[in-house]
């Protein structure tokens, strides 16, 4: 039986005012071997909010030499200007309210539109973002918490771990992260991570199979490539696991 007390600890969805913002690059920082951080500011950032650690904002990347007019939001919906809509990618916002700055950590890899933009970005450049349209606010005080991701989920995981470490009594956290190269581990230096090097789905599955999820007071988060995420999360889609305490999402899809 689900008690009222337990129900209050369920993640809650909240809606945000949908806005499209053209932001200005303040600085570029190489924060690890595989992540480039781009920090944004500007008046358009006023009113920005992001309450969920794995929130997504949509970033727009026009073709070089092309201009892009951000859409407007009306009572009837989103109104797009004429012309070709640029390519978009979803990224985790890292908002610093005290400094009123918004950062994105870009995973650097060959062939990525966003990765290429991040590697060539400089102070003064602009980028249009949209959202987050909504947030899943996950309570921080669950006694036992499990996080599983690959490189695509590392910024969201880092954001979550930083928040959890600020608690007076940090919870018991198990983080399993799979990366292509051991050098990528420096992005999460200082945190207790169970690493899987080489993107072995089987190795991650074996680690999950060895875990004992508590009867109550837990939270589970699984992200990564779509098919892999679906396969891994099937281990938790049982009557023993409260599905409202299981959060999973595909961060990307293998072509």
In this predicted model, what pLDDT tens digit does every residue of 13-37 receive, in sequence order? Answer: 999 988 999 999 999 999 999 999 9
Instruction: Identify the bridge partners of residue 60 per DSSP, sorted by sequence position.
Output: 88, 128
Q: Provide the residue range defining the domain that includes 17.
A: 13-134
pLDDT exceeds 50 at position 4: no
Q: Give the neighbor-by-neighbor strand order of the sheet with 57-61.
A: 87-91, 57-61, 126-130, 20-30, 35-41, 101-107, 94-96
Percent of the chain scoring above 90 in pLDDT: 84
Q: Are residues 174 and 121 in the same domain?
A: no
Higher pLDDT, 78 or 140: 140
Coil, strand or helix at 64? coil
Q: Are residues 109 and 158 in the same domain?
A: no
pLDDT exceeds 70 at position 7: no
In this predicted model, what pLDDT tens digit does every residue of 120-135 receive, in sequence order? Answer: 999 999 999 999 999 9
Domain annotation covers residue 165: yes
Q: Report yes or no: 249 and 233 within 8 Å, Cβ to Cβ.
A: no
In this predicted model, what pLDDT tens digit does every residue of 193-233 receive, in sequence order? Answer: 999 999 999 999 999 999 999 999 999 999 999 999 999 99
How long, in residues, is the chain? 255
Look at the chain and report how many structural domains it folds into.
Answer: 2
pLDDT exceeds 60 at position 107: yes
Domain annotation covers residue 1: no
- Residues in contact with 214: Cβ distance below 8 Å, sequence separation at least 6, in sequence order: 143, 144
| Structure confidence at residue 71 (pLDDT) | 86
| Structure confidence at residue 77 (pLDDT) | 83
pTM above 0.85, yes or no: yes
In this predicted model, what pLDDT tens digit does every residue of 43-81 receive, in sequence order? Answer: 999 999 999 999 999 999 988 877 788 888 888 888 888
Main-chain phi, psi angles of 21, to 5 degrees: -125, 135
Output the CA torsion sign for 153, 154, 159, 164: positive
Q: Are residues 172 and 243 in the same domain?
A: yes
Average pLDDT over every residue of 135-146: 97
pLDDT exceeds 50 at position 1: no
- Residue 204 CB: number of other CB atoms within 10 A? 23
Q: Are residues 31 and 76 in the same domain?
A: yes
| Structure confidence at residue 8 (pLDDT) | 56
DSSP 215: S
Given pLDDT bands bounded at 50, 70 and 90, which one contains residue 103? very high
Residue 113's domain is classified under what CATH number?
2.40.30.10
Instruction: Mark which of 134, 155, 177 sits at the end of a domain.
Output: 134
């Amino acid at each position: 039986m689900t008690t009222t007390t337990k129900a209050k600890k369920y993640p809650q969805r909240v809606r945000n005012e949908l806005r499209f913002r053209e932001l200005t690059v303040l600085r570029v920082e190489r924060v690890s071997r595989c992540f480039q951080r781009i920090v944004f500011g500007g008046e358009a950032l006023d009113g920005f909010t992001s309450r969920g650690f794995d929130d997504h904002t949509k970033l727009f990347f026009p073709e070089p030499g092309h201009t892009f007019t951000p859409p407007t939001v009306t009572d009837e919906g989103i109104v797009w200007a004429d012309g070709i809509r640029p390519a978009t990618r979803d990224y985790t916002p890292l908002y610093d309210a005290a400094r009123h700055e918004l950062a994105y950590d870009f995973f650097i890899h060959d062939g990525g539109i966003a990765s290429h933009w991040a590697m060539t970005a400089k102070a003064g450049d602009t980028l249009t973002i949209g959202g987050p349209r909504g947030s899943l606010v996950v309570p921080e005080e669950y006694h036992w918490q499990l996080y599983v991701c690959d490189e695509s989920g590392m910024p969201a995981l880092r954001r979550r771990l930083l928040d959890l470490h600020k608690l007076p009594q940090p919870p018991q956290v198990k983080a399993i992260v799979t990366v292509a190269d051991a050098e990528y581990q420096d992005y999460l230096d200082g945190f207790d991570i169970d690493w899987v090097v080489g993107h072995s789905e089987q190795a991650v599955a074996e680690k999950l199979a060895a875990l004992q999820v508590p009867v109550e007071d837990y939270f589970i988060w699984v992200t990564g490539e779509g098919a892999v995420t679906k396969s891994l999360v099937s281990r938790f889609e049982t009557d023993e696991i409260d599905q409202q305490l299981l959060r999973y999402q595909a961060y990307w899809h293998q072509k």
